[in-house]
Amino acid sequence: MTATVYAFDTEDIEYLRHGDKPLLARLFKPRGPGPFPLVIEVHGGAWCRGTRLNNKVIHEKLAQSGVMVAALDFRMPPEAGYPDTIADVNFAVRWFKQRAASMNVDAQRIGLLGTSSGGHMAMLVAMKPQDPRYAALPLPGAAPGLDSTVRSVVLAWPVIDPLGRYHHAQRLKTQGDSGLIDHVGNDHLNFWGNEAAMAEGSTTIALERGDAVRMPPVLYLQGTQDYNHPRADLERFVAGYRKAGGSLELHLYEGEKQLFIPQRPDVPASIDALNKIVGFVQRTLA
């Protein structure tokens, strides 16, 4: 049977305001009776760069499959860093849940998707939906118990352990390769402030500490030649998540680097990865 391809509309909406600055989400809204599942997307950029427009090819592919997407903007340095940026994403999940019925969304079928540093934030929000640091922004009129729990998470080349990636960049510099530390080292410090905060907010270290966490099903995608996201960190997280009882589907793409989906959407690896994302979302948000 041929899958339905949905036409969709796009719209920017304000989901949160800090002072006089609105935070926007770009909606990709399938046309049809609904209600539709919703994926809330968190962009990458070392926590310090990027916009809700980063991953349009992923947003459109999901919308065409009958999944609404809300691609978020959020505060970044120098305006805000950890944990305030995480609080924006946590708030967004609760805000969309609260308004699901009026937006033609099923509040019981909501997932998160993140790329690079956005993958880290999506996973942290999903694992710790009631952490007071991350749920710090009040949502007026919220029902008791409303939190940022989601049904599933898609991770594309995530910075799954910020402290591990920071140390990885430092090691490369001692070996004469300063490219990564020059590229992301300052961003880590601008967002996190110090290594203690990187450890506190690490999803990988949270598992190793035995923190109480939620464990929704995870789809994890990464290229084998990804210079910016250490393979050792991936392996630690995958092993820890599975050991703790979580369901995690891992797909490694031979020869691919970071950003292969948005930068080269028509190559076989990207086509396969996009189909994997759609299939996983359809299964876990059914």
Domain assignment of residue 167, yes or no: no
Domain assignment of residue 175, yes or no: no
Please check whether residue 118 is in contact with residue 44, taking contact to mean a CB–CB distance below 8 angstroms. Answer: yes
User: Angle CA(233)–CA(261)–CA(29) in degrees, nearest 5?
Assistant: 110
What is the pLDDT at residue 105? Answer: 97
Domain assignment of residue 81, yes or no: yes
Residue with the bigger pLDDT between 244 and 184: it is 244
Does 1 score more than 70 pLDDT?
no
Confidence of residue 84 (pLDDT cuts 50, 70, 90): very high
- Phi (first) and psi of residue 24, to 5 degrees: -105, 155
Domain assignment of residue 173, yes or no: no
Q: Which helix (H) or strand (E) holds 215?
A: none
Q: What is the pLDDT of residues 94-119, one digit of tens each?
A: 999 999 999 999 999 999 999 999 99
CATH of residue 222's domain is 3.40.50.1820
What would the mean pLDDT of 234-260 be, rounded to a whole number?
97
What is the pLDDT at residue 232? Answer: 94
Domain assignment of residue 94, yes or no: yes
What global pTM score does this model have?
0.96
Q: Which residues contact 273 (CB under 8 A, 6 or more apart)?
A: 156, 221, 251, 253, 260, 261
| Nearest Cα to Cα of residue 150 among 114, 109, 182 | 109
Length of the chain: 286
From 227-231, 264-268, 278-282, the region with the lowest mean pLDDT: 227-231
Does 78 score more than 70 pLDDT?
yes
Residue in the structure block whose two tokens are 């459109």:
60
Full strand arrangement of the beta sheet holding 21-30: 8-18, 21-30, 68-72, 36-42, 105-115, 153-156, 218-223, 248-253
Domain assignment of residue 192, yes or no: no
Does 76 score more than 70 pLDDT?
yes
Does 126 score more than 70 pLDDT?
yes
What is the pLDDT at residue 177? Answer: 62
Residue in the structure block whose two tokens are 């997932």:
111
Integer Cα distance of 286 and 36 in angstroms? 10
Confidence of residue 185 (pLDDT cuts 50, 70, 90): confident
Domain assignment of residue 199, yes or no: no
**In terms of residue numbers, what domain contains 275?**
8-161+205-284
Handedness of CA 59, 40, 201, 246 (dihedral sign): negative
Domain assignment of residue 125, yes or no: yes
Total domains, the chain: 1
Instruction: Cis check for the bond before 216: say yes or no (omega within 30 of 0).
Output: no
CA 243 from centroid of its chain's CA atoms: 22
Please check whether residue 186 is in contact with residue 259, taking contact to mean a CB–CB distance below 8 angstroms. Answer: no
What is the pLDDT at residue 86? Answer: 98
Q: What pairs with residue 250 in β-bridges? A: 220
The full DSSP string for 171-204 is: HHHHTT--HHIIIIIHHHHHHHSSHHHHHHT-HH
Please check whether residue 218 is in contact with residue 246, taking contact to mean a CB–CB distance below 8 angstroms. Answer: yes
Does 218 score more than 70 pLDDT?
yes
What is the pLDDT at residue 228? Answer: 87
Provide the 3-class DSSP secondary structure of residue 4. Answer: coil
CA-to-CA dists, residue 56 to 60, 66, 82, 147, angstroms: 6, 16, 26, 27
What is the pLDDT at residue 179? Answer: 62
- Structure tokens, 98: 């609260």
| Nearest Cα to Cα of residue 61 among 259, 242, 274, 232 | 274
Q: Which residues contact 243 (CB under 8 A, 6 or more apart)?
A: 207
Provide the 3-class DSSP secondary structure of residue 11. Answer: strand
What would the mean pLDDT of 80-99 be, rounded to a whole number?
98
What is the pLDDT at residue 42? Answer: 98
Query: Please, what is the average pLDDT of the chain?
Result: 94
Does 174 score more than 80 pLDDT?
no
